[in-house]
Amino acid sequence: HNYTTEEELCILEHVIKARKMGVTTDAKIWKDILANG
C-alpha cells in the first residue's frame, strides 16, 4: 500500500501526538491510528 502524502501527514500527526502522550510502542500507536482512522 502506497500512502498518499495526506495519509502520511495524518499518520505522522498521530505518531507525534501519541509520543507526546508518552505512548512509546508502535503497536499502541498503530492501534490508536486504526481506531481513530
Burial readout 3-33 (b: 16 or more C-beta within 10 A, e: otherwise): eeeeeeeeeeebbeebeeeebeeeeebeeeb
- On whether the CB atoms of residues 29 and 18 are closer than 8 A, the answer is yes
- On whether the CB atoms of residues 29 and 23 are closer than 8 A, the answer is yes
pLDDT tens across 10-29, in order? Answer: 888 988 888 898 877 878 87
Quote the number of domains for the chain: 1
How much is the average pLDDT of 3-16? 86
User: What is the structure's pLDDT at 1?
Assistant: 61
User: What is the structure's pLDDT at 32?
Assistant: 77
Determine the structural domain holding residue 26 and report its residue range.
5-36
